[in-house]
Structure 1
Amino acid sequence: MNAGCLTIKELTDAVGGGLTPRMVRHYHQLGLLPQPVRSPSNYRLYTQKDVLRLQRIVALKQQGFQLNHIRNILEVEPEADTTVNLMGQLQQQYRAVMQQISQLRQTASALEGLLGRDRHCQIIQAEVLAQLKLLDVETQAGLGGLENLWSGLDAEIHTHSEVFTESLQRLLPDLSHRSEIEQHLISQLVLACGDVSLVSFVKLSRDAIAASREALSSGCEIVVDTQTVAAALDQTRLLHLGCRTETLIDNPHITTATEAEVAFWQHREWREKLPQVSRGCVLVVGYAPSVLVEVCEAIANQKIQPALVIGMPIGFSHAPAAKRQLMQQGIPFITVEGTLGGGALAATALNALVESLIDKPDCHCYLK
């Protein structure tokens, strides 16, 4: 065995991250990892250079990059592997991914247009599906027929109000492994943004539902980042529970995420309000990533002890990072991974919890 070289098992142990010999062989087949030299006994022999390359592959994969995108990133020559070149390549990858998402979104919208019909539309829906099988969409006349089919479906919207629950039953993935209260929460979040794919990004700690019900039942303080979020809360139900609302960025003229983010940084008095929140409160962050970052830091330093944090700020870099920090704090949380979020979603999450508590005070399904 060559001195300083690693076997495939030693390589995977050195890299870590759940890497297995089978995955290494797969990366060889894909061209992600160069074929290694062989020992006289035909063992694969790896060097420190292979360790570093695999660590990059594992790190990029953990961040959500697909293997074909990782290969393109790693194809940059070492001498040309500057920040500018790498950023340019990542931008190209991002645009390609967004184009694919856009195309898939169009397909999903077409499917939603058929599957998301309530019972009042099912008669015309059956007719459309029958005609769709016979439609020749290869010709211009066929495309015109397709437009007529959609027009027929759309005409039904004038005959009745939309039954959202029936549409969601057909569109939502299987949520039977979640409690009834969680299902209600997720359904309300999907309705608030009109995007079923949100389900995959909604993250709750195991104790989030229990913590929210205990805190709200005791008439806890609700602390929000902006008045826009406060305005979207169900104040009637909160008043019924004895919960009062406190706003950190207490300026009615601040209505956007950009304004909230800048204002929270510039005004010390709003940052100084955070350590003053009551123990056992529910924190709702829907706009400023900096607020959630400050919340996480205050929790880590034991300056505040909220019962629950609903963290859904908007942003492309700070917001995802702040949400990751939130999920590592060891406290009850509800968040939406990545860049998705906003005041409407954050308020909807709290409103759904409040609604289910009042409507089903004796429900204990979430404890299973």
Structure 2
Amino acid sequence: MTSNPLTIKNLIKAVGGGLTPRMVRHYHTLGLLPPAKRSHGNYRLYTDHDVQHLRRIVALKQQGFQLSHIQKLLATDSMTTTNDSLMTQLQQQYRSVMQYLGRLRQTASALEGLLGRDRECLNIQLEAIDQLRQLEVETITGFAQLEKLWDGLDAATHTHPEEFQESLEHLLPDLSDRSEIEVDLLKKLVLACGDVSLVDVVRLSENAIAAVRDAIKAGCQIVADVKPVFASLDQTRLAHLGCEVVTLIDDPHITSVTEAEHEFWQHRQWRERLQQLNSNCVLVVGYAPSVLMAACEAIENGKLQPALIIGMPIGFSHAPSAKRRLMRSGIPFITSLGTLGGGLLAAIALNALAESLIEKPNCHCYLG
């Protein structure tokens, strides 16, 4: 940082994040940025404090906050801000975003209904597209025609079993930059939940596939956070590979995320057991975000050294935080951004990697 005044050009360079002079002037107009001092030539001059302030604005904007909310969040005297009012506004924005996502999901579903067709449905797919071109919806009759169109598409599903892989190829984004094993993993995760958008939120560390293959080859211990995740793991293949499968929270009565979270918090024995896990184990977390958070803390304190963590717990505040911490831990990982996840997805991720190791033990595509 420098104590010398900055021109708007140098300010933008210091802040980064795609900031433009027009945006800076707009923030002045809105009151997000206080008036700048002027040079003798009437040019705006900025300070290090302005740089920090703008960085906060850019960061919050990139997270999706509206400028009106950013202004309240960054109010100089935060104690004078009515927190209840701000929370209400943020809730309203969240609901608006979710409604918008719902409309987008409806659009995606309509496109999936057309594009996600295998070869057996090709003729009826072409007929449906032709009918869409000629559709007239000025009257109620038009909407009835649309329903009839979808009924016609649905009729084709009774004539043959669905070819999932073929349909999926029509919907997946370009994955040519991913390894064969990673593509197989992503496809299995999508088929497990029926949501192609999952591809965009799954994250693998650069060395994740190599780490898990090496660990499984060595007959590592596989640790599920709860019994339902344990039950979803492919015990037969893992036994064939010489891997012992155990449960961290070894209570058969735990059947929900809420129960798993509270059980881990209330009984110290599970935290102690977490720190006693075998070195080079693979930890599969699909329920309790606190398990993932505690694992990251144990790693940071040198009390746990797993070969890989599959971290896909469910939760609306703790889970996203735990996943971010996992991605900063330095341990090989597979995770999903935000709130998406669950025990089934976590188990399927490991099952897919174990299956690929058996079917393609000498594959090195992931090293490219």
What's 1:23 paired with?
20
Q: Taking structure 1 as reference, are residues 214 and 52 closer, same or farther at Cα in structure 2, changes over 3 Å only?
A: closer
What's 1:122 paired with?
122
Shift of 1:198: 1.1
Shift of 1:59: 2.9
2: distance between equivalents of 1:153 and 1:349?
A: 33
What's 2:64 paired with?
65
2: distance between equivalents of 1:179 and 1:155?
A: 37
Q: Taking structure 1 as reference, are residues 88 and 5 closer, same or farther at Cα in structure 2, changes over 3 Å only?
A: farther
2: distance between equivalents of 1:232 and 1:327?
A: 24
| Maintained 8 Å contact 2:72/2:86 | no
Shift of 1:73: 3.6
| Structure 1 residue identity aligned to 2:25 | H
| Maintained 8 Å contact 1:73/1:90 | no
Give the SS at the match of 1:246: strand
Q: What's the % identity of the aligned pairs?
A: 62
What's 1:145 paired with?
145
What's 2:91 paired with?
91
Shift of 1:252: 1.2
The question of 1:74 aligning with 2:71 is answered yes
Shift of 1:362: 1.1
Q: Taking structure 1 as reference, are residues 27 and 264 closer, same or farther at Cα in structure 2, changes over 3 Å only?
A: same
Shift of 1:6: 4.1
Give the SS at the match of 2:20: helix
The question of 1:232 aligning with 2:232 is answered yes
Give the SS at the match of 1:223: strand
What's 2:308 paired with?
308
2: distance between equivalents of 1:141 and 1:78?
A: 58
Deviation per CA, 1:72-96, whole angstroms, max 9, x where unpaired? 4426876752322222221111111
Deviation per CA, 1:5-62, whole angstroms, max 9, x where unpaired? 5433554576x4x346x53532424756556453221321235774454133123135
- Where structure 2 has 5 or more consecutive residues not aligned to the other structure, the ranges are none
| Maintained 8 Å contact 2:326/2:333 | yes
What's 1:283 paired with?
283
What's 2:157 paired with?
157
The question of 1:271 aligning with 2:271 is answered yes
- Where structure 1 has 5 or more consecutive residues not aligned to the other structure, the ranges are none
Q: Taking structure 1 as reference, are residues 50 and 92 closer, same or farther at Cα in structure 2, changes over 3 Å only?
A: farther
| Maintained 8 Å contact 2:115/2:171 | yes
1: distance between equivalents of 2:330 and 2:52?
A: 32
What's 1:247 paired with?
247
| Structure 1 residue identity aligned to 2:108 | A
| Maintained 8 Å contact 1:6/1:46 | yes
Deviation per CA, 1:163-186, whole angstroms, max 9, x where unpaired? 111111011100000000000111
Q: Taking structure 1 as reference, are residues 131 and 306 closer, same or farther at Cα in structure 2, changes over 3 Å only?
A: same
| Structure 2 residue identity aligned to 1:150 | W
Give the SS at the match of 1:309: strand
What's 1:108 paired with?
108
| Maintained 8 Å contact 2:203/2:335 | yes
1: distance between equivalents of 2:140 and 2:25?
A: 47
Deviation per CA, 1:113-161, whole angstroms, max 9, x where unpaired? 1101111111111111111111102221111111011001111121111
| Maintained 8 Å contact 2:37/2:46 | yes
2: distance between equivalents of 1:83 and 1:47?
A: 30
| Maintained 8 Å contact 1:73/1:86 | no
The question of 1:203 aligning with 2:199 is answered no
Q: TM-score, normalised by structure 2?
A: 0.92
Q: Taking structure 1 as reference, are residues 302 and 232 closer, same or farther at Cα in structure 2, changes over 3 Å only?
A: same
1: distance between equivalents of 2:89 and 2:160?
A: 50
Q: TM-score, normalised by structure 1?
A: 0.92
1: distance between equivalents of 2:197 and 2:308?
A: 24
Give the SS at the match of 2:248: strand
Give the SS at the match of 1:103: helix
Q: What is the root-mean-square deviation in Å for CA atoms of aligned residues?
A: 2.2
